[in-house]
Chain A
Amino acid sequence: AQSVAQPEDQVNVAEGNPLTVKCTYSVSGNPYLFWYVQYPNRGLQFLLKYITGDNLVKGSYGFEAEFNKSQTSFHLKKPSALVSDSALYFCAVRRALSYGGSQGNLIFGKGTKLSVKP
């Protein structure tokens, strides 16, 4: 069975400091990995994805994530946090299929609340 674990319910960071939001996954075969952000009363917004290639992927708003196959992790990072980054962050996985396609639905983690204080 596929699953995603986000071990921290909340991450607190001071503005200007680096931030990391952790994600580990379990999937048979190769994964497609995603990060989404949810602001209050808003829908889920796509941040970045790993499909193949470089293990370090860059996304919106200065965020990046590192795919580590041996540790089955896909941690979200940002070198310098902003107060406006405070939101709920979701990691998600889809199962890649052998011919290059993927199984349709996303499997989400339970989310990590990021709080950035000035």
Chain B
Amino acid sequence: GAGVSQSPRYKVTKRGQDVALRCDPISGHVSLYWYRQALGQGPEFLTYFNYEAQQDKSGLPNDRFSAERPEGSISTLTIQRTEQRDSAMYRCASSLASSSPGEQFFGPGTRLTVL
């Protein structure tokens, strides 16, 4: 079956521009997570949703970062006024439910480069 998909796979933007990264989770998965992975590091948590409700946004680095999941399926992570330090791989994952101990399924990621 279809896994988690993310688009675009690669995004190059100029400093100061806004970017929107999209995640389409596995059908039926309640929970959706956003992580950011710097080169040579493990993924770091940004935020997560159960259905359309944002449960935890403690990992968002500052108020330029926001996320939404308005219909409880597709999610968008938006970065306003991008800075070079925002360059990283942005990964999305989904799971049946955040309260279950089951694994999260990851998409291929979006590689963001801010020039």
Contacts and interface: CB of A to CB of B under 8 A. Distances in A.
Contacts of B45: 105-107
A43 B105 CA distance: 9
Contacts of B62: none
Nearest to B34: A105
Interface residues of B, number: 29
Interface of B: 3-4, 31, 33, 35, 40-45, 48, 55-56, 59, 91, 93, 98-109
23 contacts: A43-B91, A44-B93, A44-B106, A49-B101, A49-B103, A51-B101, A92-B42, A101-B99, A101-B100, A101-B101, A102-B101, A104-B98, A104-B99, A105-B33, A105-B48, A105-B56, A106-B35, A107-B45, A108-B42, A108-B43, A109-B42, A111-B40, A111-B42
Interface of A: 4, 32, 34, 36, 42-46, 49, 51, 90, 92, 94, 96-97, 101-102, 104-111
